[in-house]
A and B are shown apart, each in its own frame.
Chain A
Amino acid sequence: MTNQSPPGTMVEVDGLARSFGKIEAVKGVSFSITEGEIFGFLGPNGAGKTTTINMLCTLLKPTTGSATLNGFDVQHDRSDVRRSIGLVFQQPTLDEYLTAEQNLRFHAYAYAVPRDLRDRRVRELLEMVELWDRRKTPVRNYSGGMKRRLEIARGLLHHPRVLFLDEPTLGLDPQTRRSIWNYLLELCERENLTIFLTTHYMDEAEHADRIAVIDHGEIAALDSPAGLKAAVGGDLVTVGTADLDAAVAEIKEHFDIEATVHDETLTFHVANGESFLPEFVRGFSQPISSIGLRQPTLDDVFLDVTGHEIRDEEIGEYDQMIQDMGRGPRHR
């Protein structure tokens, strides 16, 4: 198994599937992640993101298929896999009654971090996430952003090779989200980490080197953010003008582009919008009342590959099921 992966491969997933009763949460996904890569799973709630993560981090047994991580099989070398990964879950998993330092110490003991490294590492990480001054404060007095930062620090304590981030900034305000991403990107460089990220925030997915668009338990597309957007058909140009039919004909003749009419506006895709626009304005003979250029977003990508928009649905059936398996209902 291990020997089949090309060098530099950190995660290798082959036909991984998981059903809960009759519901197929993940329907056989395959992909591989290179060392040092930020790999994103983009999809709505209930698409199978968390189920896949749970299988990769040995919390859930696959129904069929296999996966290796850092060269270890997720079903057979569970302990080695666990030592190789750090996890930041969707929901907090801190002991709120203990202090930040106590939480990290517990983690260090549980992962058998050598004694001479322990204190140094705890301090280094707490300083990095700017919680060193608050280390003696019980976690229940922390804000949501502080808790998430502490979880990220804890996930890194035992020098994992792969950091799993399951919706790492869910429920946080935009400012906190930005600052958490700054930490993550800095870390990635400093520790040569591979990051496996799930999200349904488009802007968050932009941080990934490659994105797998996942919908209904299947991977619908897999490429870099730029590649995915290019596949949609390049930049989107919108033009307002009086005689729409004549404009469509002229654009076809002059630029060899098929334009369409949406809401009294011409719309068409071009490969490189920024250099095309000046050329277009010079060459187009009719009066232009308005002109717009927009780069395709991952929303456009998602719509393009799945045929529907990503949305903040109510909690999906799969997620519900997974929650029932792993943890009870949460009370505040």
Chain B
Amino acid sequence: MMQSETLRGTWVVAYREILRYITERSRIVSSLAMPLLLLIVFGAGFSNVIGGMAPGVDYLQFMYPGIIAITVLTTSLFAGISVVWDREYGFLREILVAPISRTGIVLGKAFGATLQASAQVALMLLIAPLLGVSLSLEVILGLIPMIVILSLGLAGLGILMASFMRSQQGFQTMMQIIIFPLIFLAGVFFPVNHVPIWMAVISKANPLTYGVDAIRQVFLGSEASEMGLGVTVGDHTMTLGQDIIIVGIMSAIMLAAAVWAFNRQE
């Protein structure tokens, strides 16, 4: 009984998120705006100054996987905004009073966000050839699980925040406060091994760093990590598998916290 209510809740809520995603073109554009802007500004600004990051890896090729992670981040946190929206426009009551479980609602929002993040990433991949980033079937297949794991966790974070926020303004202010440190201290724009010690410490404590590193390893392979572009903790350079474990654990915690927070509100 309980299980079927969670399952039905998950798919029904995810289904509606996708319907909304398809009907609202502006949302598609707005969540691509930030990653594209960062890509263009930092790309144009730093490409000529920095040049090669490692043999065979130029600045754009280094930064692009991080931009993919940012795309996942901005789209996934949206799950939180959609909870706040539903509350403001009343639709949350329709959902809350239906015979579906609260856990199912949270999972539905999270999976909805994951599907949206995947679609947004697919759009971002279209410009990869313009940047000299090579795509292969192997890279794309490797990306899918990374995006799913990262996106579920970030959606969890968004819903967790939304459970404590009553207004859209409050939520958006909160987003602005966390989103920039999260992005700038995640090794998207510079390798975390080559920054001042305080920054390295914060970056290595930021779980998103490992998500960025995992996506980068999918694109560039493990050799690039060993050449200093990866994340080194102590003497150890993180492997793709270790990155995935860290992100996976963080995502599980975030989702569990979101389920807890959403269940406790009356």
Contacts and interface: CB of A to CB of B under 8 A. Distances in A.
Contact of A82 (B23, B88, B99, B266): B99
A93 B93 contact: yes
Contacts of B15: 106, 109
* Interface size grouping (class) on chain A: 35 or more
A96 B20 CA distance: 10
Nearest to A330: B88
Interface in B50-100: 84, 87-100
B184 to A, nearest CB: 31
A95 B91 contact: yes
A327 B90 contact: yes
A61 to B, nearest CB: 7
Contact of A98 (B19, B90, B166, B266): B19
Interface residues of B, dominant DSSP? helix
A331 B91 contact: no
A292 to B, nearest CB: 46
A1 interface: no
B90 A94 contact: yes
Interface stretch (A52-60, A63-71, A205-213, A242-250): A52-60
A110 B20 contact: no
A95 B20 contact: yes
Interface in B5-38: 5, 8-9, 11-12, 15-16, 19-20, 23-24
A89 interface: yes
A98 B88 contact: no
- Which residue of A87, A325, A327, A330 has the most chain B CB atoms within 10 A of its CB atom? A327
Interface string B237-255: 0000000000000000000
Interface residues of A, dominant DSSP? loop
Nearest to B15: A109
B3 interface: no
A51 to B, nearest CB: 12
Interface string B96-131: 111110000000000000000000000000000000
A110 B87 CA distance: 18
A202 interface: no
Contacts of A179: none
Given A79-B5, A112-B8, A325 B266 contact: yes
A102 B17 CA distance: 12
20 contacts: A59-B96, A79-B1, A79-B99, A92-B90, A93-B93, A95-B16, A97-B20, A106-B12, A110-B95, A110-B99, A138-B23, A326-B93, A326-B266, A327-B88, A327-B93, A328-B84, A328-B87, A328-B166, A330-B90, A331-B168
Given A91-B90, A327-B87, 16 more contacts: A59-B97, A61-B266, A79-B1, A82-B97, A82-B98, A87-B97, A89-B90, A95-B91, A97-B23, A98-B20, A106-B15, A109-B8, A326-B93, A328-B166, A329-B166, A330-B89
The 4 closest A-B pairs by CB, nearest first: A110-B98, A328-B166, A93-B90, A82-B99
Interface of B: 1, 5, 8-9, 11-12, 15-16, 19-20, 23-24, 84, 87-100, 166-168, 266
